[in-house]
């Protein structure tokens, strides 16, 4: 966890159980009050890494829980997730992550 220009930066990683096929970067959402933007990119290795830059400080445990739930449903590896957040609720985070992963090849299985 670090601090940049008033933002809290959180980094998480999860072991991948299914390596993502090649795909172009996926971007969903918009950075705005109560919303967030999610970008998925292919990455080397077999982990799913997540970097969050958020204006809502002190919510690391909630982020971890939301991301662990997401990764349990979508156990991709070889993927990097970048999230730019402006105070989105956990429900909005889950919605945006679901929208992004729906764009991946083979995501429905």
Nearest Cα neighbor of 82 from 53, 44, 45, 42 is 53
- Say yes or no to pLDDT of 70 above 60: yes
Compute the mean pLDDT over every residue in the chain, rounded to the nearest whole number: 91
Nearest Cα neighbor of 23 from 12, 39, 7 is 39
Q: Report the pLDDT value the prediction gives residue 98, as an integer from 0 to 100.
A: 95
Does the predicted model carry a pTM greater than 0.85? yes
pLDDT cut 70: percent of the chain above it: 92
């Amino acid at each position: 966890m670090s601090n940049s220009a008033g933002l809290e930066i959180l980094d998480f990683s999860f072991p991948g159980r299914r390596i993502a096929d090649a795909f172009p970067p996926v971007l969903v959402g918009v950075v705005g009050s109560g919303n967030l933007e999610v970008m998925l990119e292919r990455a080397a290795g077999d982990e799913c890494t997540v970097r969050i830059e958020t204006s809502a400080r002190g919510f690391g445990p909630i982020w971890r829980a939301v991301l662990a739930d997401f990764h349990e449903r979508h156990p991709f590896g070889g993927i990097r997730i970048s999230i730019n957040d402006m105070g989105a609720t956990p429900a909005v985070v889950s919605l945006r992550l679901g929208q992004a992963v729906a764009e991946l090849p083979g995501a429905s299985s």
